[in-house]
Amino acid sequence: MLYYLLALLVIIIDQVTKWLVMMNMELRESIPIIDNFLYITSHRNPGAAWGILAGQMTFFYIITAIVIVVIIYYIKKYAHESKWLGVGLGLILGGAIGNFIDRLAYQEVVDFIDMYFGSYSYPIFNVADSALVIGVILIGIVVLKEDFGKGAKKDD
């Protein structure tokens, strides 16, 4: 149950930040937060990461629906086993729904977190993407830790 609340929190923060960007910024307007590193840039992406599959909304709806069903199944089945697994699943659920709302409402995703690493400009992303990536990393750590744990026991 707690993990659904986490997903809801992610969705609310994601939608509020996107709404603030849409209401207060012109498209492509950029506000420096930390010069040469972090900017808030109003951006739209009709695709997935790096703009791949732009405009393929039906594909995105299907993939996102599958992601949501699979995540809910795993939360029901495994979240009681590992708190961090549940947190990771909740973050991915929230992130997927956050971008899903944009795709349903605008057929594109609102992005605004614009980061530069030296001369490399990382693709502009949003809170939902951050939750998705952090969720994926968290689950990766839990799964790897468990594998190592099992391996250690076998060696005993």
Ligand X SMILES: CCC[C@@H]1OC(=O)[C@@H](C)C[C@H](C)CCCCC(=O)CCC[C@@H](CC)/C=C/C=C(\COC)CC[C@@H](O)[C@@H](O)C[C@H](O)CNC1=O
- State the catalytic residues: 111, 129
Q: Does 115 bind ligand X (CB under 6 A)?
A: no
Q: Report, in Å, the least distance between residue 75 CB and ligand X.
A: 16
Structure tokens at 17: 């930040």
Q: Does 70 bind ligand X (CB under 6 A)?
A: no
Q: Does 10 bind ligand X (CB under 6 A)?
A: no
Q: Does 62 bind ligand X (CB under 6 A)?
A: no
Identify which of 132, 127, 131 has the alpha carbon closest to the alpha carbon of residue 111.
127
Q: Report, in Å, the least distance between residue 156 CB and ligand X.
A: 35
52: amino acid identity, one letter: I
- Residue 113: what are its φ and ψ, rounded to 5°? -85, 110
Q: Does 125 bind ligand X (CB under 6 A)?
A: yes
Q: Does 101 bind ligand X (CB under 6 A)?
A: no
- Number of other CB atoms surrounding residue 123 within 10 Å: 14
Structure tokens at 156: 């005993």
Q: Is 97 helix (H, G, I), strand (E, B) or coil?
A: helix
Positions in the binding site for ligand X (CB under 6 A): 45, 48-50, 60, 63-64, 67, 96, 99, 109, 111, 123-126, 129-130, 132-133, 136
